[in-house]
Structure formats: structure tokens, C-alpha cells
Amino acid sequence: MTVLVYLIPIALVLGLIALAAFLWSLKSGQFDDMEGAANRILFDEDDGPIPPHKPH
């Protein structure tokens, strides 16, 4: 049973770290625009050369 003395605090601390991480991400606005974030990944700068589209 003595192992509990280590395991329980470790479990709690890990849980608290996850909680703190979530609260931080919430505070930093990462949940503000779910729709935009889902689309944003498709519009990166490095998506390779694009065929030129000139008025003709």
C-alpha cells in the first residue's frame, strides 16, 4: 500500500497539469473560432506552386 503514497499524488499532479493546460488554452482563445480553425489548416502558405491564373 505504501506505493499509493507516490502513485496518488502523481496521478493527481498529472490530472492537474492536463486541467491547467486546458484552462490555459481556453484563456488564450483557442476555442474561440472552431469553424475558422478547421478551415485554416487548408490555407497554409506552403501549399506549393499554383498554376498562374491570368485574365485572358
Partner 1 sequence: MAECLHCGQNVPANSTGGAHFCCHGCAAAYHLIENMGLESYYQKRCLDPETQPIRPDENAPAIDFTSYVQTDDETTASLHLMVEGLHCAACVWLIETVLSRQPGVVSARLNMTTRRLVVRWRIGATDPQTLCASVSALGYRLAPYDPVLLGRESERQEKALLRAMVVAGFAAGNVMLLSISVWSGQGGDMNIITEDMMHWLSALIALPAIAYAGRTFFSSAIAVLRRGHTNMDVPISLAIALTAGMSLLETMRGSDHVYFDSAVTLLFFLLVGRYLDRRARGRARSAGEHLLALATGSVTVIGENGGKTIIPPAKATTGMHVLVARGERIAIDGVILSGTSDIDASLISGETIPTSVAPGDRVFAGTLNVSAPLHIETTAVGENTLLAEIVRLMENAEQGRAKYVAIADRVARLYAPAVHGLAALTFLGWVLLTPSPWQDALMTAISVLIITCPCALALAVPTVQVVAGGRFLKRGILLKSATALERLTRIDTVVLDKTGTLTLGRPELIVPEKADAPWRLDLALAYALARESLHPLSQSLTRAFDELGGEMPSDRGISVCDVNEIPGRGLRGSLDGEDVRLGNAAWCGLPLPSARRGTETSTEPRQSTKPPLGPEIWLRRPDAPPRLFQFIDSPRPDATQAVAALKRRGLNVLMLSGDREGAVAYAANRVGIADWRAGCTPSDKTKVLENLAAQGHLALMVGDGLNDAPALAAAHVSMSPSSAIDISQNAADIVFQGARLDPIVEAIDVAKQADGLVKSNFALSFVYNAVTIPLAMLGHVTPLLAAVAMSTSSIVVIANALRLARARARV
- Rule CB under 8 A: choose which of 3, 6, 28, 43 binds partner 1: 43
Residue 1 touches partner 1, criterion: CB under 8 A: yes
- Cβ at position 47, least distance to partner 1 in Å: 8
Longest dimension (CA), the chain: 80
Q: What is the CA radius of gyration of the chain?
A: 23
Handedness of CA 51, 40, 17, 29 (dihedral sign): positive
Q: Residue numbers of the site for partner 1 (CB under 8 A)? A: 1, 4, 8, 11-12, 15-16, 18-19, 22-23, 26, 31-36, 39-40, 42-43, 45, 47, 50, 52-56
